[in-house]
Every structure is written in C-alpha cells, then in structure tokens.
Amino acid sequence: MEIIFEKISVPQEHSFIARRMDLSDTKFKIHSHNNYELNLIISGSGRRIVGNNISTFRPGDLVLLGPNLSHSWEILDTEDGVPASCITTHFDENIISSTFFNIPELQTVKETLNQAQSGLLFKDNIENIQSALELLVDSQGLEKYIQLLKVFNLLINVKNKESLSLETSLNVKFEKDLKKLNKVYEYVFNNIIEGIDLNNISSHMGMAPTSFCRFFKKKTDKPFMQYVKDVRISIATKMLVETDKSITEICYDSGYNNLANFNHYFKQTMGKTPSAYRKSFLKDMAEKDNEE
C-alpha cells in the first residue's frame, strides 16, 4: 500500500477546483492534503478509508473531508465497460476564516465544514447534488462560484448524514509529521486483525516504544493504543450493520481476542452494546423503509 502527503494545487486565478476524475488507474494509497475535499462516486465500488474508519463505497456515495484527514479509495469492482470515476472538488482550508464566509447567512455552511473534520457522508438528496456538481464542473467565472454556493446550500439541507471517523483531522503543521502518521495508519490497517504489537510498530517507525508513544500522543492528542481501539470499534460497527456475522465473530474479526473486552470498549465508545447497536440500526432502517 502506498502512502503519500498530496499537494493539491489550486490555480491562483481560482479559489477552488472541480473536476471529473477517472479512478480506474488510481493506485490504492492513503493520502492527505491541506484542502477540503468533496468527493462524489459516479461509478465503481470498493473500500474507503477516512481517518480511522474503514467502510465500503458505491456509486452515489458523497463525502466531505476536512483538511489533513487521511483517506483513500480502493476500487474493487466496476461495471463492464464503465471505468470507475468521481467528481472531486478541492477548496482551500482557510475558506471558513475568509471575510466572505464570516456573514450570518453562511454560518450553517461553516458548521458543515467544521463537521467535515472527521469526514462527513451524505445519504440523501444525492441526485440533486450530483446535478449541481455536474454544472459546477462545467461552469466558468463568477457563475462557477455561484454554483459552488448552490452546492453548499444543498449540502446543509441534507438531514441524513454520518460522521465517518471517530477522531478529528490532525492539527499537524509539518508535512514530515503527516508522512510519519500515515505510515502508522498503514501499519494499523494492515495488522489490525492479527494484532498490534507496540514493539513492532515502534521498530517499524524506527523509534523506541516510549519515543513512539510520545510522538503519536503529541501529534494527535490521543494515546496510540486508544487510537487502535477506535479503529477496531470502527471496523466492528461496519460489520454489525453490513454483515450477518455473530457478535463473537465480529469480536475476533475486528482484532479482539476477548468478548468481554470487546463488549466493554464498544459500549464505552458507542454508548450501546454491539447487539443493541445492531438492533437500533435495523429498527431505524425499517422505519425509513416504512416512511418511503
């Protein structure tokens, strides 16, 4: 798996860029950049990583990401003859501190952008937003900025949305720190089920265990093993709602080797036991189906 810190260049004559992108030849890589990113999957499906969240994606998935939030899209399946593609918009991380955005009418937009620090998945009104994004890509000049505001207006009115990552994006000032942390993320994602050994990850990072723990806590404001627990819980929540696996199977598949510990940390993090979380999710889905 390749990991990089990506620099997204927005031309000086523009405040943002919006483009259609072919994902068919994109290598699976965890990356981060200073810009906000709004990503709509047009075709193709696979696995998505946002912060410490691992989940599947499919056509119609719309995600807003805050600056410096590690993420990746791994294409696993495409329709015959239809390449994987998306519409991606990047805009500057300082946009919400600009004078233009500091007006009452845009307060809800700023709130939505702040929520995106953990990654935000929008779940309804996608067709209208896609139409607006298509127009955004094809617009020019002032009309393009006006169209961006129309996209924001649609986003803030989406009622059904989900915060993806259990942690917020990292307040990291130096590119070298982001590269190191992405290397940590890659190791955790690749070894989460088999088990995370502090000595191994420290050696992988070229540090002594105490130095590594101090580095990670300083850069993320979170102890390393707490981060590992959050990743495991994130994996477990997805399996609870996306599979029919038993609680015991999910316990072991998310990296725990003790059911009591799994139940304890899951409830501590999510506010419900794994079984209660699954029942609540199924109930909500049934109610939505009845409403439709």
Q: Which domains does the chain have, with CATH numbers?
A: 2-163 (2.60.120.10), 175-283 (1.10.10.60)
* Tokens found for residue 174: 């130096």
For residue 169, what pLDDT band results from cuts at 50, 70 and 90? very low
Q: Rounded CA gap, 115 and 162, in Å?
A: 10
Q: What is the pLDDT of residue 206?
A: 94
For residue 40, what pLDDT band results from cuts at 50, 70 and 90? very high
Q: Which residue has the tokens 């952008």?
A: 113
Strand-strand pairing, 120-122 and 62-65 = antiparallel
* Tokens found for residue 280: 């609540």
Q: What is the pLDDT of residue 82?
A: 85
Average model confidence (pLDDT) for the chain?
A: 83
Q: What is the pLDDT of residue 10?
A: 53
Across 25-34, 85-94, 130-139, 224-233, least confident range: 25-34
Q: What pTM does this model have? A: 0.66
| Residue length of the chain | 292
Q: What is the pLDDT of residue 168?
A: 43
Contact criterion met (CB below 8 Å) for 232 and 255: yes
Contact criterion met (CB below 8 Å) for 266 and 236: yes
The residue that leads in pLDDT, 233 or 121, is: 121
Residue 23 has pLDDT above 60, yes or no: yes
Q: Rounded CA gap, 203 and 212, in Å?
A: 9
Percent of the chain with pLDDT over 90: 36
Contact criterion met (CB below 8 Å) for 204 and 161: no
How far does CA 61 lie from the centroid of its chain? 12
Q: Rounded CA gap, 264 and 238, in Å?
A: 18
Q: What is the pLDDT of residue 29?
A: 67
Give the torsion sign (CA, 149, 95, 160, 54).
positive
Q: What is the pLDDT of residue 2?
A: 44
Q: Rounded CA gap, 252 and 259, in Å?
A: 8
Contact criterion met (CB below 8 Å) for 185 and 30: yes
Q: What is the pLDDT of residue 43?
A: 93
Contact criterion met (CB below 8 Å) for 256 and 262: yes
Half-sphere exposure for 210 (CA within 13 Å, toward CB): 0
**Following CA atoms 154, 158, 162, 167 in sequence, which dihedral angle do they give, to the nearest 10 degrees?**
50
